[in-house]
A and B are shown apart, each in its own frame.
Chain A
């Protein structure tokens, strides 16, 4: 448990000192790998002995968050594998200084730390602190290149998420305000385990106001329309490994926070307010993002919007109670989206631009071209990839519980398909005009992710399925 949190923190400190060295990427990977192993051990323990509360009740691990911990650690690890050749290329192509490299490596680990902290903490306050920390860590990563565009993106990111997160804090205060009556003042009143036990007796009015603030607040980080505006910019301008973890992990963590709060509010309210809110946000997000995809010209913005769309879909899924599908979608989305960003990163290096019309013939680098093509198809919900499985479950669930919503979803999925696929196709096929990369590209993480997504599309191992069902039950 401690290792899961301690390792990235220590790694961050180490890399702050030596992040510019030649072996820094290896160290980065090694730290992430150890974190991953620790996460697996943790998961194993939870799987065997059930939920646990440790360290003076400050940390709480159940099947819901432990699965996200493993996912986060895993994607963080594979991203470091990708980041190694990518940043080497980047250091040559964009002439990064030692300071920037140090900053990058250490912030990367700090970012992982804050995400893991947000996932494992039992204290809603700490959850908030960690979320804010994650924002701060990534702001610096987004503005790493110090170009006008990246500064602009980072500024928007900072302000919008800052405001959002402040609203979430207000929501948290309101929850504390309500729980204090029941649990008494002091530390216990913000501990999720206690709140969960007492959620039935919390004051409904307070909690519904709190939930509005929380969903607007954390929803900003999730990227729910109309609070999403920071997301495409931040994805487009940061280094690609950061885009990969932003899309693949941070959004998940934010959604995790929303869902945790939803569980409480739902328990207190005894009505469908929280669900309806999530459904509404989800649908608006999916639809808007789909149409916005149509207009994109920058490859990373394109996939940024695609992340928005998928977060909307997940929010919708949790809203209608398709929790199993939502969790599965979280998993496959972060695997697929990060794989796509890996390919995109190299593709951009290969062609020297992020403008899609200038990218052609990526298939000349088979791992990149095929990675992007298959990844895009996977994210669009093409079987036999796992995204299809989760979308199938979400859609079928929606058809039974909220039939009116299915046309909206289908329109959105159709438009998203036309938008993304048309663009990806013209980038992957055709004659290549790019130049060779100075360092060999990272094919392994791409293939690994896609293989996992393919596997999940055809077969969900029983222990994973049990895990999901367990977590889905927890969510309610």
Chain B
């Protein structure tokens, strides 16, 4: 763990955590544009967070300590996730602490705590949301791992740093395996971040909501942390997608100049990705909740196919 690594690590962590709500704002703004609305502006998430932080918390009388701790745990876990996904540089201080499998573990950890907190109050919505969230996770987690496995098989490593370095160095070419896994990854991303078609972050309709059902009982600073954590999660996912499928431009080794270049490149990529997300969410309709398993099953299938194709074609 070099000094550069540590510094780069903190820089990336800091930027990610700060910039994450911005990405969310951008996606929402793009969506508004696409829907011919004016939109609240891309800094809306920050305003919302500030508002929430300043409020007094209201907590259900039956809430246990677990309920109050969870937002912090969630936030902490997402910070770690954001820290180890190489978005600016590959030589990160914490990258050895957790590899691709551990990354999936972090997401699982966050999801399980979230679900538990949702069940804590004992409302009908909480349990329902937890169940649905766990179902989505149950299917999304393997799919995500399949995606990462394919990448790991190509690069002979599960370390995210090594994966990104390998992928960035290969000759440009058509990799059918990556195409399959790319689709799978996109589907996982949508499902895991409570986006259409699996969930609708803007809806509180009891028949369909998943994520919102879980955080119904949170308010004020707790809600702020949860929201923030979800935006970091979205950011981490998008960054992961970038790192896996368009890794060019991420600074490698101890290279300050590279990092200086990497930041604008990253921002451009994020803008494009955010716009893409908005397009998807606009053109697709929310599915029935019962369709979610099929959707995730397809993602899993694509992941497995990608891996098999890798074996078959060696690419």
Q: Do any CB atoms of chain A lie under 8 A from CB atoms of chain B in the complex?
A: no
